[in-house]
């Protein structure tokens, strides 16, 4: 038996266009509607409207195609996926075709009866977002009164039903001091796992970056806190952590490489190699309305654009790490350097690396100005 934690399954080499290996994960953004308005939301600034959303039958077809293609984990996400009236029906279909279903929810506005129905429909795992470890911070981040109380109650209901629970905490300057308390809360709630994931700056988070960026000292302290807790909570709680790459030496590996392991489908059906990929405007994203998922995965131009290593420029092209990090994040390269095929500026070999660190240091040095924060919109018209 060998464990393949999601990051080390074999990936294709850059030999002459072999058929790509099948994906293992599908992120289905069922809707952009959400009762919360988090400042770090990674949904695009241009939210897709309810009227543009795929209907029930189309999502079911997509899930069947995903299972045939080889997808193992299905992440039902949004927005708030439970804003969809058909969430139970969609979950049941996904489970029936053999997908492992992970519901990614804010927990706000999910009724107990809905939770029962989801359990019975075969929902495997629930991932609950946690914006802060108390009411004050939760309101400041998510823009909704009473949300913390409600989340606590939801976590209790989830665990009582026998679902495995993961807490997902997106970390930034407003809540970074609460990391140890969040970890304690996870244990108290009976979660099996917590993700301490530093904000990634796309969509609303990029707009709010100056407000969200933590100082290097805060990040270093968090790394120590996480290491200490991991050791102490072995066998009780798994802690997965992602730290901001603005202060890093090498970039992060994008989901195992572009078009290699995962894909996302937006509420209206566009298939993306990564959930932020629409920021790369020149890419041509095929829709599930016109193509099968297998067709998009094997031949979609947006997937082919940065798959493998052929697209690379220097310094990536001749770098010994190119099969380790695949040149980092394409979206970040575009956002900060203006070229989606450039080396991710998080890499020390990028000519823009110092500028990136300076930006983070200067933005994090000022007190956040609450008047300048953009809460995301609840949903598009």
Partner 1 sequence: MGELPDATVPKLPHGVRFRADKARGGHILVGPERIFNIDGVSVEILKRVDGQTDIAGIVADLASVFTAEPAVIRPDVEAFLIDLRDKQMVTL
**Which residues, 10 to 49, sit near ligand SF4 by CB under 6 A?**
none
Give the count of beta carbons closer than 10 Å to the beta carbon of residue 1. Answer: 2
Residues composing the chain: 381
Cβ 79 vs Cβ 34: under 8 Å: yes
Distance CA 296, CA 254 (A): 19
Q: Which residue stretch of 43-51, 158-166, 221-229, 325-333 sits at the interface with ligand SF4 (rule: CB under 6 A)?
A: 325-333
Does 331 count as an annotated binding residue? no
Cβ 58 vs Cβ 288: under 8 Å: yes
Cβ 132 vs Cβ 148: under 8 Å: yes
Report the residue number, 46 or 134, with the smaller CB distance to ligand SF4: 46
Give contact residues for partner 1 (rule: CB under 8 A). 1-6, 9, 21-22, 24, 68-70, 72-73, 98, 100, 102, 119, 124-125, 127, 162-164, 166, 192-193, 235, 240
Distance CA 177, CA 219 (A): 10
DSSP-derived letter for residue 52 is G
Query: Which does residue 164 bind out of ligand SF4, partner 1, none, counting CB within 5 to 8 angstroms by kind?
Result: partner 1
Report the residue number, 124 or 304, with the smaller CB distance to ligand SF4: 304
Does 38 count as an annotated binding residue? yes
Number of residues that bind ligand SF4 (CB under 6 A): 24
State the burial class of residue 192 (Cβ atoms within 10 Å of its Cβ: 0-12, 13-18, 19+): middle
Q: Which residue stretch of 47-55, 60-68, 170-178, 321-329 sits at the interface with ligand SF4 (rule: CB under 6 A)?
A: 321-329
Q: Which residue stretch of 44-52, 126-134, 184-192, 247-255 sits at the interface with ligand SF4 (rule: CB under 6 A)?
A: 247-255
Give the count of beta carbons closer than 10 Å to the beta carbon of residue 25. Answer: 19
Q: Which residues form the interface with ligand SF4 (CB under 6 A)? A: 202, 250-251, 254-255, 274, 276-277, 315-316, 319, 321-322, 325, 327-332, 343-344, 347, 349
List the binding residues. Answer: 34, 38, 41
């Amino acid at each position: 038996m060998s464990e393949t934690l999601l990051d080390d399954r074999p990936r294709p080499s850059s030999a002459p266009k072999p058929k790509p290996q099948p994906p293992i994960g599908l992120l289905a953004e069922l809707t952009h509607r959400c009762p919360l308005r988090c400042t770090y939301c990674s949904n695009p600034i241009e939210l897709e409207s309810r009227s543009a959303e795929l209907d029930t039958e189309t999502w079911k077809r997509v899930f069947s195609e995903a299972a045939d293609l080889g997808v193992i984990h299905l992440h039902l996400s949004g927005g708030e996926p439970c804003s969809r009236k058909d969430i139970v029906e969609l979950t049941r279909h996904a489970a029936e075709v053999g997908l492992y279903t992970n519901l990614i929810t804010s927990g706000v506005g999910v009724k107990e009866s809905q939770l029962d129905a989801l359990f019975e429909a075969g929902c495997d795992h629930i991932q609950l977002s946690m914006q802060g470890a108390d009411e004050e911070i939760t309101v400041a981040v998510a823009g909704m009164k009473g949300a913390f109380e409600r989340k606590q109650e939801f976590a209790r209901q989830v665990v009582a039903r026998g679902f495995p629970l993961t807490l997902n905490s997106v970390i930034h300057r407003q809540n970074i001091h609460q990391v140890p308390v969040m970890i304690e809360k996870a244990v108290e709630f009976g979660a099996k796992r917590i993700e301490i994931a530093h904000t990634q700056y796309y969509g609303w988070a990029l707009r709010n970056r100056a407000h969200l960026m933590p100082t290097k000292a805060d990040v270093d302290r968090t790394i120590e806190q996480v290491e200490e807790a991991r050791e102490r909570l072995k066998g009780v709680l798994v802690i997965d952590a992602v730290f901001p790459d603005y202060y890093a030496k090498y970039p992060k590996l994008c989901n195992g490489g572009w078009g290699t392991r995962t894909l996302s489908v937006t509420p209206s059906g566009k298939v993306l190699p990564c959930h932020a990929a629409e920021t790369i405007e020149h890419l041509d994203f095929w829709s599930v309305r016109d193509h099968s998922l297998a067709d998009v995965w094997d031949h979609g131009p947006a997937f082919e654009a940065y798959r493998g290593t052929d697209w690379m420029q220097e310094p990536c092209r001749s770098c010994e790490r190119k099969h380790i990090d695949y040149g980092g994040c394409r979206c970040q390269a575009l956002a900060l350097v203006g070229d989606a095929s450039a080396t991710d500026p998080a890499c020390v070999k990028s000519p823009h690396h110092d500028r990136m660190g300076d930006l983070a240091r200067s933005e994090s040095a000022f007190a956040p100005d609450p008047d300048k924060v953009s809460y995301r919109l609840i949903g598009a018209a």
